[in-house]
Amino acid sequence: QVQLVESGGGLVQPGGSVRLSCAASGVFYELDSMGWYRQTPGKQRDLVASITSGGSTNYADSVTDRFTISRDNAKNTVYLQMNSLKTEDTAVYYCNGILFGVHYWGQGTQVTVSS
């Protein structure tokens, strides 16, 4: 059974930084893609950033130049470095992994940006 476990969420002040981590277990192949989505009440769960096993990245326009995604293929772990945080970045962040076209999701971790 594939499981994704997130860590690193919490409370941070505007302009601050946090680093999210997500480790996949029960996976016997490299995940084709890993990424992060976020969701706030009343809104759709939207892609923040993703990265393929080959290292190609994709970012939402709102986070480009502030967030950086990376992964360790051997560990099937993905990271999201979040800098220059804004209050509008407040959301539940979900780890996502894709293997053979199947999406797997973590339970989410809350990131709150507030003074």
Longest CA–CA separation in the chain, Å: 43
pLDDT at 88: 96
What's the rounded Cα separation, in Å, for the pair 110 and 80? 14
**Once rounded to an integer, what is the mean pLDDT over residues 86-111?**
97
pLDDT at 4 over 90: yes
Other Cβ atoms closer than 10 A to 102: 9
What's the rounded Cα separation, in Å, for the pair 108 and 110? 7
**Once rounded to an integer, what is the mean pLDDT over residues 63-81?**
95
Residue 66 has φ and ψ, to the nearest 5°, of -115, -35
pLDDT at 74: 85
If you average pLDDT over every residue of the chain, what do you get?
A: 96
pLDDT at 73: 85
The torsion defined by the Cα of 65, 9, 19 and 42, in degrees rounded to 10, comes to -20
Only one residue has tokens 């290292």, namely 55
The residue among 50, 52, 56 whose CA lies nearest residue 93 is 50
What's the rounded Cα separation, in Å, for the pair 109 and 19? 12
